Amino acid sequence: MKDAYPLDKDFEGLDIGYAKHDMAYRKIFDRCGIKYFVVGASSGAMGGSKSEEFMVKSDAGEDTIAYCEKCGYAANVEVAQSVSKPALRHVQSKQYYEISTPNVKSIDELCAFLNIDEHETAKSRIYIHDGKPVLVLMLGNDEVNETKLANFLGGNVRPAHPEELREITGADAGSIGPIGFNHRIIADNLLKNANNLYSGANKNDYHIGGIDLIRDVTNIEYADLRIVENDESCIRCGSALNVFKAIELGHIFKLGTKYSEALGVNYLDENGKEHPIVMGSYGIGVERIFACYIEQNYDDKGIIWKKPLAPFDIHLIGLNMKNNLVADTSNKIYDDLRKEGLEVLFDDRNDVSAGVKFNDADLLGTPVQVIIGEKNLKDKKAEVKLRANNEKCIVELSGLINKLKELN
């Protein structure tokens, strides 16, 4: 990791530092030749306000991103939003009533059992927030986005354990609902003011129909708590969102005064007045630059390095190192190239075949390969191969060093 935590005297200084880091990070990743995009993100456990991540699309990534190709909207699913069909408010509100639903646990089972649509159901999850139970109500099969929930609630939040569910609600997961739940209830925005809903009855094997969230759940709060799904509509332009895995290359965010206030880290201004210092937080996963570069630059033979990230400029292969002429020439070229300041990886093994050496050179992916073999040496020549496009040429030994300097 490369980390930076600048200390400023005010928020104006923080804004300037943030913009400079943003620009510097873009320059670094551009120069490395990495295709990346910038997403709005949660600043996570660290807190703070404005936050952006530099991401690279990759199945090997540990983050999930929602991205709109049409307008460029991009956000970590931890905070991503979409347009999705809300639950309805019907003109007529039914009275709520209990329904026997033996062995019905999931929303899909409930829909099949009652022959109803997912949009008429509300799923309940119980969380413990600073020691107190909270019921989170989601539309249909929507999953709770725990980052959004934590951001909304603040403090400590965790899912309730199965034993706690029974203790708090009297029922197991799959039979829990808002009616008769005497603690805090937060519903996702898609459920706002919905009626004629089906949910758990806080009694195993029972559900309740005809729930009117305005009439029956008077203390309800609403928030955006959903996890965005693939193909949902972009909140900016309405096009379909792509949701995919990505690697986080870098992260910049405004930490503000969260820690300086908590720890009492103040400075004295010109007039002797105390103020909390204002902090930014900027990081690059240096080793991830290499991982991301390789994810974007390879073929079936191996890595394809380019400057400036290539660990070596030239991969020098002495084909048959038991032959004195091959060994002497290769050693001399190695020394000459090093004198020119080039980084050379020299394959001087004398116990493997030419085929193994060629394959290893392609696998390691150094941009330029120089192949010294008996056949070409008879004509005082050597072979030069470019890894990226497999282009090969035969070069006079006398002009070899200059040719390789040109290629670098």
Residues that bind Zn ion (CB under 5 A): 68, 70-71, 73, 234, 236-237, 239
How many whole angstroms separate alpha carbon 57 and alpha carbon 245?
6
Q: Closest approach of Cβ 145 to Zn ion, in Å?
A: 20
Q: Closest approach of Cβ 235 to Zn ion, in Å?
A: 8
Q: Looking at beta carbons only, is 65 or 107 nearer to Zn ion?
A: 65
Q: Looking at beta carbons only, is 68 or 138 nearer to Zn ion?
A: 68
Q: Looking at beta carbons only, is 87 or 234 nearer to Zn ion?
A: 234
Q: Looking at beta carbons only, is 67 or 293 nearer to Zn ion?
A: 67
Rg (CA), the chain: 31
Q: Closest approach of Cβ 52 to Zn ion, in Å?
A: 17
What does the DSSP 8-state code read for residue 308? T
How many whole angstroms separate alpha carbon 23 and alpha carbon 28?
9
Q: Looking at beta carbons only, is 39 or 157 nearer to Zn ion?
A: 39
Q: Looking at beta carbons only, is 80 or 342 nearer to Zn ion?
A: 80
Q: Closest approach of Cβ 65 to Zn ion, in Å?
A: 13
How many whole angstroms separate alpha carbon 315 and alpha carbon 404?
11
Q: To which H or E segment does residue 164 belong? A: helix 162-169
Q: Looking at beta carbons only, is 107 or 234 nearer to Zn ion?
A: 234
| Residue 363 in tokens | 């696998």
How many whole angstroms separate alpha carbon 42 and alpha carbon 76?
8
- Residue 276: count other Cβ atoms within 10 Å of its Cβ: 18
How many whole angstroms separate alpha carbon 110 and alpha carbon 22?
49
Q: Looking at beta carbons only, is 68 or 277 nearer to Zn ion?
A: 68
Q: Closest approach of Cβ 231 to Zn ion, in Å?
A: 13
Q: Closest approach of Cβ 62 to Zn ion, in Å?
A: 25
| Of 339, 336, 379, 383, residue with least CA distance to 361 | 383
How many whole angstroms separate alpha carbon 285 and alpha carbon 278?
24
The secondary structure of 319-345 as a DSSP string is: S-TTSHHHHHHHHHHHHHHHHTT--EE
Q: What are phi and psi of 268, to 5 degrees?
A: -100, 130
Residues 6+ apart with CB under 8 A from 262: none
What does the DSSP 8-state code read for residue 144? B
Q: Closest approach of Cβ 69 to Zn ion, in Å?
A: 8
User: In Å, how far from its chain's centre is CA 59?
Assistant: 10
Q: Looking at beta carbons only, is 94 or 236 nearer to Zn ion?
A: 236
Q: Closest approach of Cβ 233 to Zn ion, in Å?
A: 8
Q: To which H or E segment does residue 268 belong? A: strand 266-268
| Residue 28 in tokens | 């670094």
Q: Looking at beta carbons only, is 112 or 240 nearer to Zn ion?
A: 240
Q: What are phi and psi of 382, to 5 degrees?
A: -140, 160
Q: Closest approach of Cβ 260 to Zn ion, in Å?
A: 37
Q: What is the SS3 assignment for 221?
A: strand
Q: Closest approach of Cβ 38 to Zn ion, in Å?
A: 15
